[in-house]
A and B are shown apart, each in its own frame.
Chain A
Amino acid sequence: MSEPPGATVTLTRSSSADEPSTPLTAQRVLPLRRPGRWIATAVVLVLVAQFVHGLVTNPFYQWDRWSYWFLRPTILDGLVITLEVTAYSAVLGLIGGIVLALARLSKSPVLRAVSWTYVWVLRSVPLIVVLIFLYNFSALYKTLSVGIPFGPAFFSFDESKLATDMVVAVVGLSLNEAAYAAEVVRGGILSVDQGQHEAAAALGLPKGYQFRRIIFPQALRSIVPNYVNQLIGLIKGTSLVFYVSLLDLFGSAQTMGSTYPGDIVPLLLVVTVWYLILTSVVSVIQFYVERHYARGATRSLPPTPLQRLRTGLTDLRARIRKEAAV
Chain B
Amino acid sequence: MTAATLEALADVEAATVEVHDVHKWYGTHRVLDGVDLTVRPGEVTVILGPSGSGKSTLLRVINHLEKPEIGHVSINGELIGVKRHGDRLKELSERAILTQRGRIGFVFQNFNLFPHLTVLDNVAAAPVATGRLSKPEAQELARELLGRVGLADRTGAYPRQLSGGQQQRVAIARALALRPGVILFDEPTSALDPELVGEVLAVIKDLATSGTTLVIVTHEIGFAREIADRVVFIDGGRIIEQGPPSEILDNPRHERTRDFLSKVL
Verify A296–B65 contact, CB threshold 8 A.
Answer: no
Contact among A196, A293, A296 with B112 in the assembled complex (CB-CB below 8 Å): A196
Verify B65–A201 contact, CB threshold 8 A.
Answer: yes
**Per-residue contact bits, chain B 90-133, to A (CB 8 Å; 1 contact, 0 not):** 00001100111111101010101111111000000110011000
Cα A296 to Cα B103 in complex, Å, equals 28
**CB-nearest residue of chain B to A207:** B94
Which B residues are CB-close (under 8 A) to A205?
Answer: 98, 125-126, 129-130
Verify B112–A199 contact, CB threshold 8 A.
Answer: yes
Verify B115–A297 contact, CB threshold 8 A.
Answer: yes
Which A residues are CB-close (under 8 A) to B178?
Answer: 203-204
Which A residues are CB-close (under 8 A) to B100?
Answer: 204
Verify B126–A198 contact, CB threshold 8 A.
Answer: no
Among A201-230, those with CB < 8 Å from B are: 201-207, 209, 213-214, 217-218
> Is B246 part of the binding interface, using a Cβ–Cβ cutoff of 8 Å?
no
Cα A139 to Cα B106 in complex, Å, equals 61
**CB-nearest residue of chain A to B110:** A195
Which A residues are CB-close (under 8 A) to B164?
Answer: none
Cα A203 to Cα B101 in complex, Å, equals 6
Tally chain A residues at the interface, Cβ within 8 Å: 24
Assuming the contacts A195-B112, A296-B116, asked whether A203 and B126 have C-beta atoms less than 8 A apart, the reply is yes
Which A residues are CB-close (under 8 A) to B115?
Answer: 218, 296-297
Cα A195 to Cα B191 in complex, Å, equals 14
Could you tell me which A residues sit within 8 Å of B by CB distance?
193, 195-196, 198-207, 209, 213-214, 217-218, 293, 295-299
Write 12 A-B pairs (CB below 8 A) sorted by A numbering.
A193-B112, A195-B108, A199-B113, A202-B63, A202-B108, A205-B125, A205-B129, A207-B95, A296-B115, A296-B158, A297-B160, A299-B161
Apart from A199-B108, A203-B106, A296-B118: 10 A-B pairs, beta carbons within 8 A: A199-B113, A202-B108, A204-B178, A205-B98, A206-B130, A217-B116, A218-B115, A295-B158, A298-B160, A299-B161
Could you tell me which B residues sit within 8 Å of A by CB distance?
63, 65, 94-95, 98-104, 106, 108, 110, 112-118, 125-126, 129-130, 158-161, 174, 178
